[in-house]
């Protein structure tokens, strides 16, 4: 039964996928990533069967949240003692641990599953492009990004910026610079003591 054995092995073997989180929404990305963690992309899927794959996510430091979410999205914690509640803005959490936002987004999407901790153990998060070689050798597939990586203003050359069509030209004596406000740091009113960086 050697033939059946290897066929079964091929069905049950865990594939390793890679995902580039550069300028991707962590919430929509996590939705796509947990599909692979749970094995929902396989026709043999069953919620109680442990057939999920491994996912390697890199560039988690460069995830992008839409709108005002870096300030308004909160991560909560409760120690289960009286007064043990604490919360922190997303940017604060990201400052402390650049993989935390992605990890938490995936973990919350897996809520309700008895196997969520097992599945989370198969999620490998790296803040930057450096991935250990032994991990990278396992990888054999790529997960499609959820959104197109936008081009930043710095990536355009000076020539392209100059040649970009304009509706009107500022008058030569028009003062643009003095109207720009200084980048004031946001007062972090909603981060409680536990999360404060001193």
Partner 1 sequence: MVFLTRHLLYRRFYQPHHDRSWKKEMQNRLTWHFYGRRRNCYALQKDAIRRSLRFATVVRSSRRRHVNYIFSDRIAAGCAQHGVQYSSFMRSLYENNIAIDKKVLSSLAVYEPRTFQSLCEFVKKQHTEKVYAGLAASVEPTPSGIVTREMVDKVYKS
Partner 2 sequence: MAASLVRTCVLTTRRTLQFLRPISFALQESHDSKRSYHRRQKGFLREMYKKRIDIGPDKPRRRSEWINWNYDCEIFSFGQRLGENFDEGSLRQAFVHRSYVEQEKEKRAELGIDLESVPLELDDNSDLANSGDKLMKDYLKVYLRNIYPYMFEECISSVCDHLMMDETLSHIASHLGCEDLILCQDFPVQPSVLSVTFKAVVGALEQAQGKERAEAFVRDFVLPQLIGKDLNEMWPLHNPMGLLVALLSLTGRGQPEPRLLWKSGSNTMMSLYWVGIYSNKQLISKAPGETVLIAEEMAAREAVKKVMRTEDNRPPLVLGTVAERLELDRDRVNASAEDIVRRHYEQSSGQSDSITSS
Give the binding site for partner 2 (CB under 8 A): 1-4, 6-7, 9-10, 12-16, 54, 134-135, 137-138, 140-141
Least distance from partner 2 to the Cβ atom of residue 7, Å: 7
Residue whose tokens read 């940017």: 91
Nearer to partner 1, 44 or 197 (CB): 44
Dihedral pair phi/psi, residue 193, rounded to 5°: -60, -35
Which listed option, partner 1, partner 2, none, makes contact with residue 43 (CB within 5 to 8 Å by class)? partner 1
Least distance from partner 2 to the Cβ atom of residue 184, Å: 49
Nearer to partner 1, 49 or 96 (CB): 49
Which listed option, partner 1, partner 2, none, makes contact with residue 137 (CB within 5 to 8 Å by class)? partner 2
Nearer to partner 1, 32 or 71 (CB): 32
Which listed option, partner 2, partner 1, none, makes contact with residue 1 (CB within 5 to 8 Å by class)? partner 2
Which listed option, partner 1, partner 2, none, makes contact with residue 42 (CB within 5 to 8 Å by class)? partner 1
Q: Which residues fall within 8 angstroms of residue 86, CB to CB, at 6 or more apart? A: 76, 77, 78, 192, 193, 194, 195
DSSP 33-67: HHHHHHTTTSTT--TTS--PPEEEEE-GGG----T
CA end-to-end distance (rounded Å), the chain: 64
Q: Which 8-state DSSP code applies to residue 88?
A: E
Least distance from partner 1 to the Cβ atom of residue 41, Å: 5
Q: Where are the beta strands (DSSP E) in the chain?
A: 16-20, 54-58, 74-78, 85-89, 123-125, 141-142
| DSSP H or E segment with residue 74 | strand 74-78
Nearer to partner 2, 7 or 96 (CB): 7
Which listed option, partner 1, partner 2, none, makes contact with residue 3 (CB within 5 to 8 Å by class)? partner 2
How far apart, in whole angstroms, are the C-alpha atoms of residue 140 and residue 53?
11
Residues engaged in binding partner 1 (CB under 8 A)? 40-47
Q: Are 32 and 20 in contact (CB under 8 A)?
A: no
Nearer to partner 2, 9 or 81 (CB): 9
């Amino acid at each position: 039964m050697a033939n059946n054995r290897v066929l079964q092995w091929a069905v049950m073997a865990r594939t390793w996928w890679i995902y580039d989180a550069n300028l991707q929404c962590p919430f929509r990305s996590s939705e796509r990533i947990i599909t692979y963690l749970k094995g929902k992309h396989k026709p043999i899927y069953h919620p109680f069967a442990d057939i999920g794959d491994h996912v390697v996510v890199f560039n988690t430091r460069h995830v992008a949240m839409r709108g005002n979410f870096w300030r308004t999205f909160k991560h909560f914690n409760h120690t289960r003692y009286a007064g043990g509640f604490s919360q922190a803005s997303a940017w604060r959490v990201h400052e402390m641990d650049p993989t935390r936002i992605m990890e938490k987004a995936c973990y919350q999407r897996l809520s309700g599953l008895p196997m969520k901790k097992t599945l989370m153990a198969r999620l490998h998060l790296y803040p930057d492009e450096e991935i250990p070689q032994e991990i990278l050798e396992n990888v054999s597939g790529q997960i499609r990004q959820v959104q197109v990586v936008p081009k930043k203003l710095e990536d355009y050359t000076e020539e392209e910026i100059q040649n970009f069509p304009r509706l009107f030209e500022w008058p030569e004596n028009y003062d643009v610079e003095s109207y720009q406000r200084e980048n004031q740091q946001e007062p972090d009113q909603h981060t409680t003591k536990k999360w404060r960086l001193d």
